Structure 1
Amino acid sequence: MNTRARASILLTLSLAFAGLSASAVPANAEAPAPPGQVAESAGATPVPTVQGPLAATAESNPFGAASHQEVPQDLSKLGYDEEEYLVSGTSNVYSWPAAGPAQIRTPDAPYTTRVLVRKPAEGQKFSGNVVVEMLNPSNLFDLNIGWAMAHEQIVANGDAWVGITAKPIAVEALKNFDSARYEALSFANPLPLTDPRNCATVAADSSRTTENGLIWDIYSQVGAWLKSNDPANPLRYGSPTTRVEHAYGFGYSQTGGFLVNYINGVHPLVVESDGEPVYDAYMVAVAGGAFAGAYPMNQCETAPPANDVRRQFKDVGVPIMRIMSQSDYLRGIGSRRADSDAPGDRYRHYEMAGAGHATPDELTFSASSEDIIAAGRSVPPASCNEGPRSRFPSSIFFNSALQNLDLWVREGIAPPRAEPILVRDGAPVLDEFGNVQGGLRSPFLDAPTSTWYGTATGASFCFIAGYERPLGQDVLDGLYGNHGDYVAAVKSSVRALEDQAFLTDYDARRLLTEAAQSKTP
């Protein structure tokens, strides 16, 4: 069921309840704008110069392409196409010394980055929505986490998804992977090494010759491109004007924190210059408070302190959903604030009970191990000391959240509210099975067969990977007299959550099928 179909149902309920070589570019590619010539957007935000779509061949393919994921995905079977572009322009480097909009530190720094686009193959199936994600670079290469978490809803609704390489360290990995394809990519620092403003000390994943702070204007300009009538816009579908109606910003973990900077520091500048925002709503995932709650606006200044007002949202003017996991909600507890339906301050805060931060899906739906190694990076571990990364399906929450965010923007239907995970004296309140109470619920906790942990031990990001510990047979026998009792418990949970719009109809069907096919108890 797509968003518009669900809208009519929910509205009824709400009333009832008050630089590549030419050979790398296909012959039919749109010609980029001439050097120095910038296409016009609807507002003052410039549209970048675009090269592509780049050819995908047996010898050269996009890093993280669906066909080269850890588990390859045939987008054609979903009715989707994938294209890769290089986008170039100039970006201001900002400083953010205090609450309020950011300030220009260094103007007009040239950049070139790459953009990965997945869209319905047929224009009539395009919903008009595009989810635009700054690709997560925490493992020092691009992770397609937004696609991993919400591609089922993206495809079900006919949305497009766009991923942007957002950090120089990820550019380095791309050049290691395919130096010819990605030769033109550049996040060059506009300040020479001799300039005292080019700080002598930068973070371990950064360099004085590059600048992390170019991403803010890049993010605005890519969104403006997708909303523009530029001939290179892949979401025109041959029409004279863009088919994009709404752009939704997405960030996960580090790039969720990037979104905090963008929303509070740069979004107001865009509204001032353009008269409206580029992004019509935001989904800030597993980033808040003292956990990835904000980042340095440029690589020479520190991030806002953990309790700084710049890490919180207030009166942004467009809907925002912040979604924390069981791995990060305690460190991020400072991000909690009251939900709001006020027109200028639409906000929801969710905490996913049982869900881990670093999931198997973020590896499954990103570049293959072979390609990660070719990029000169280490393959993140899929298992920790306690066993495999938690299999808890965070996607069920992201699918429904994206559906509800779209309904909020398009139809004004306010999303459901959920209590946060219950905390007392700085620690979670657990049930008799060791699972947290409160938060976004699911049959995994309300018809339990396991205890779900948000943290594990081991290498890399195991501390936020989480794991599962199955309940003993005697416990299961005491909970469920037979298989039918278990299925009935799952059905009760699923139906209640679907009625409240915390589950999509397709996730509800899948959970019921999985329960019926299980051998519990």
Structure 2
Amino acid sequence: MRNKISTGLCCLAGSLLLAACGGDSSSSALPDTATNTNVIAMPSVTGPVAVTATSYPFGAADRTLMPEDLKAVGYVEEEYFVSGKANVYDWPAPGAAVVRTPDVPYTTRVLIRRPADGKKFSGNVVVEILNASNLFDLNIAWGLSGKHFVNNGDVWVGITSKPVTAETLKRFNPQRYASLSWANPLPLSDSRNCPDTAISTIIAGDSSRTTENGLFWDMYSQVGAWLKSNEKSNPLRKEAGFTVERLYGFGYSQSGGYLYTYINAIHPLDVKRYGAPIYDAYLVAVAGGAFAGISAINQCVQPPALTDPRRQFKDVGVPIIHVMSQSDYLIGIGSRRPDSDVPVDRFRHYEMAGAGHATPGELYSAAAPADIQAAGRAVPPMACNEGPRSRFPSEIHFNAMWQNLDQWVQRGVAPPSAPPIQVVDGKPVTDAYGNVVGGLRSPFVDVPTSTWNGSSTGASFCFIAGHEIPFTSARLGQLYSSKGDYVNKVVDNAHKLVGDRFLTPRDSLQLIKEAASFNFPSP
């Protein structure tokens, strides 16, 4: 049963409701429920769910391909089951979505990694739409920037975002995940419940008539509202020693396409219904244009056409950073638009020179192969025909984007702009070493020791995994007079990028350390 937020009972922090229900705040508040019936429906929450040797969260930090000890860094991990009622929407024209089927019961799962001590909490909560493209939950934001979140004191939240991954959880542990439900409210006999062949989804065959992908949108709003609330079930409530000040939405690849739909169809609906946005900013990653550029609002309608204005962000009202990789920027070139500092249209577009889309890091932080197999899913390959997935550390760009996004929201300090990767006649412009010109820069392309490719050949997602072609000793000798010369150039490049706010100081030190240990050939 849904609870209604009442100004006399609890309130959302940050931009949604006044802190302490009536205290001073420069943020906008929800109208008093006595005069407004459009209050946020709070989900009911079960958890944290007990963890034992035989029953633990799928994708738990200490059960990944490269296990992490969160306790050692002062963090805890908790899993919750979130239940409520979600609308299924239609989206016939640009603007807010409209309700097709109201109040559909659901239960999904949420994984939270947070400081054990609320005094070390930054006030930032990153809410990741867990990626479903491999048919199991991938926590890519944590895989990329988990160390950055820990160093900053941020909370990370991952939400299961699709029926197919909920089914994976049930296969993995039928007892633990028995309550998960994404049931389609339309009976099979209803003509609006389209045949399997007409279901709109980015991964063919991952959806069913018995479930409904379009339940996700209200789930995402309600989980955000819960995290900003003072509900007893919320581990981030004030009574637990936390003050949530900023909620940042994140989606990567297919989940980035989810954010296009959420931001353009549901975000304005929430602002209209509640008087303020639930999410204070968004980082939309490696999705746009013809590459996972938007998701269908429900599974029986097609997403907007490539030329539709809903495929672009405009006047959203909160800051958006949008980023593409070298694997996908050409396919997604339609996502390009000018940067803006206009308050209602704060926007940055970046393209990461050298970076691959499907990284090894996303698999290091994913559920261990044995758990993936226990759930009946295939373990994605770490290598393609050309060799291992590209080791390009795209996290250096994401860490800087998180830092800059936070400065934008907190202090109004706009992020730096960067030119896109140069394209002529539909093809990238490359330098003498085969690396692309333009885009977000790094020592890997400005002081190179390899050629970085965004695409490879082979199984699964190799076409967006990318690979590295190391330079020969002869080429390295032509570029650098000595190892010291190479290291000095990395130092100069890294320091400039820190000054331009394209690299964090911590990552700069790490890159210099790696350069110093590079196996440079002897003269």
TM-score, scaled to structure 2? 0.92
The offset of 1:134, in angstroms, is 0.8
C-alpha separation in 2, matches of 1:239 and 1:184: 27
Q: Which moved more, 1:250-259 or 1:41-50?
A: 41-50
Deviation readout 1:451-474 (Å, 9 max, x if unpaired): 000000000000000000011111
Q: Is the 8 A contact 1:129 1:245 kept in 2?
A: yes
Q: Is the 8 A contact 2:5 2:40 kept in 1?
A: no
Question: 1:304: which partner in 2?
Answer: 304
Task: Please say if 1:277 is aligned against 2:272.
Answer: no
C-alpha separation in 1, matches of 2:460 and 2:84: 35
Task: Identify the match of residue 126 of structure 1 among 108, 116, 121.
Answer: 121
Q: Is the 8 A contact 1:152 1:399 kept in 2?
A: no
Task: Please say if 1:338 is aligned against 2:333.
Answer: no
Task: Identify the match of residue 145 of structure 2 among 138, 146, 150.
Answer: 150
C-alpha separation in 1, matches of 2:240 and 2:332: 45
Deviation readout 1:197-242 (Å, 9 max, x if unpaired): 11123251100000000000000000000001101111126348x6
C-alpha separation in 1, matches of 2:215 and 2:145: 27
Deviation readout 1:399-426 (Å, 9 max, x if unpaired): 0100100000001111111000000111
SS at match of 1:358: coil
- Identify if the C-alpha distance between structure 1 residues 36 and 439 changes in structure 2 by more than 3 Å, giving closer, same or farther: closer
SS at match of 1:344: helix
The offset of 1:393, in angstroms, is 0.1
CA RMSD of aligned residues (A): 1.1
Q: Is the 8 A contact 2:449 2:470 kept in 1?
A: yes
Give the letter aligned to residue 212 of structure 2.
Answer: E
Task: Identify the match of residue 167 of structure 2 among 164, 172, 178.
Answer: 172
- Identify if the C-alpha distance between structure 1 residues 115 and 300 changes in structure 2 by more than 3 Å, giving closer, same or farther: same
Task: Please say if 1:507 is aligned against 2:507.
Answer: yes
Question: 1:208: which partner in 2?
Answer: 209
Question: 2:237: which partner in 1?
Answer: 236
Q: Is the 8 A contact 1:39 1:49 kept in 2?
A: no
Question: 1:9: which partner in 2?
Answer: none
C-alpha separation in 2, matches of 1:452 and 1:478: 19
Q: How does 1:48-67 map to 2 (within 5 A)?
A: 48-67=43-62
Q: Is the 8 A contact 2:131 2:137 kept in 1?
A: yes
Q: How does 1:79-94 map to 2 (within 5 A)?
A: 79-94=74-89
The offset of 1:518, in angstroms, is 1.2
Q: Is the 8 A contact 1:372 1:379 kept in 2?
A: yes
Task: Identify the match of residue 103 of structure 2 among 85, 98, 108.
Answer: 108
The offset of 1:158, in angstroms, is 0.5
Q: Which moved more, 1:428-437 or 1:146-155?
A: 146-155
Question: 2:374: which partner in 1?
Answer: 374
The offset of 1:112, in angstroms, is 0.1
C-alpha separation in 2, matches of 1:185 and 1:387: 39
SS at match of 2:507: helix
Question: 1:19: which partner in 2?
Answer: none
C-alpha separation in 1, matches of 2:496 and 2:370: 43
Deviation readout 1:467-494 (Å, 9 max, x if unpaired): 0001111110000111001001111110
Deviation readout 1:359-392 (Å, 9 max, x if unpaired): 0000001100000001110000000000000000
Give the letter aligned to residue 326 of structure 1.
Answer: Q
C-alpha separation in 2, matches of 1:503 and 1:439: 14
The offset of 1:306, in angstroms, is 2.0
C-alpha separation in 1, matches of 2:273 and 2:160: 25
Question: 1:11: which partner in 2?
Answer: none
Give the letter aligned to residue 122 of structure 2.
Answer: S
C-alpha separation in 1, matches of 2:81 and 2:5: 15
The offset of 1:149, in angstroms, is 1.3
Question: 1:315: which partner in 2?
Answer: 315
The offset of 1:150, in angstroms, is 1.5
SS at match of 2:344: coil
C-alpha separation in 1, matches of 2:328 and 2:165: 24
Q: Is the 8 A contact 2:2 2:42 kept in 1?
A: no
Question: 1:225: which partner in 2?
Answer: 226
Question: 1:95: which partner in 2?
Answer: 90
Q: Which runs of 5+ in 2 are unaligned?
A: 13-29, 31-38
Q: Is the 8 A contact 1:149 1:398 kept in 2?
A: yes
The offset of 1:151, in angstroms, is 1.2
The offset of 1:305, in angstroms, is 1.4
The offset of 1:153, in angstroms, is 1.8
C-alpha separation in 2, matches of 1:501 and 1:368: 35
Q: How does 1:352-501 map to 2 (within 5 A)?
A: 352-501=352-501
Q: How does 1:35-46 map to 2 (within 5 A)?
A: 35-38=1-4, 40=6, 42=12, 43=30, 44-46=39-41
Q: Which runs of 5+ in 1 are unaligned?
A: 1-34
Task: Please say if 1:348 is aligned against 2:357.
Answer: no
Deviation readout 1:275-310 (Å, 9 max, x if unpaired): 110000000000011101101110000111122211
Q: Is the 8 A contact 2:228 2:237 kept in 1?
A: no
Give the letter aligned to residue 91 of structure 1.
Answer: A
Give the letter aligned to residue 80 of structure 1.
Answer: Y
The offset of 1:39, in angstroms, is 5.1
The offset of 1:106, in angstroms, is 0.7
The offset of 1:97, in angstroms, is 1.7
Question: 1:30: which partner in 2?
Answer: none
Q: Which moved more, 1:242-251 or 1:159-168?
A: 242-251
Q: Which moved more, 1:218-227 or 1:94-103?
A: 94-103
Question: Number of matched residues?
Answer: 486
Deviation readout 1:158-201 (Å, 9 max, x if unpaired): 01000000000000000000000000000000111111111123
Question: 2:35: which partner in 1?
Answer: none
Question: 1:519: which partner in 2?
Answer: 519
TM-score, scaled to structure 1? 0.92
Give the letter aligned to residue 213 of structure 1.
Answer: G
Question: 1:21: which partner in 2?
Answer: none
Q: Is the 8 A contact 1:80 1:118 kept in 2?
A: yes
Q: Is the 8 A contact 1:39 1:48 kept in 2?
A: no
Q: How does 1:172-191 map to 2 (within 5 A)?
A: 172-191=167-186
Give the letter aligned to residue 171 of structure 2.
Answer: N
Q: Is the 8 A contact 2:126 2:155 kept in 1?
A: yes
C-alpha separation in 2, matches of 1:347 and 1:195: 42
SS at match of 1:250: strand
C-alpha separation in 1, matches of 2:411 and 2:356: 32
- Identify if the C-alpha distance between structure 1 residues 244 and 52 changes in structure 2 by more than 3 Å, giving closer, same or farther: same
Identity %: 62
Question: 1:291: which partner in 2?
Answer: 291
C-alpha separation in 2, matches of 1:55 and 1:361: 28
The offset of 1:152, in angstroms, is 2.0
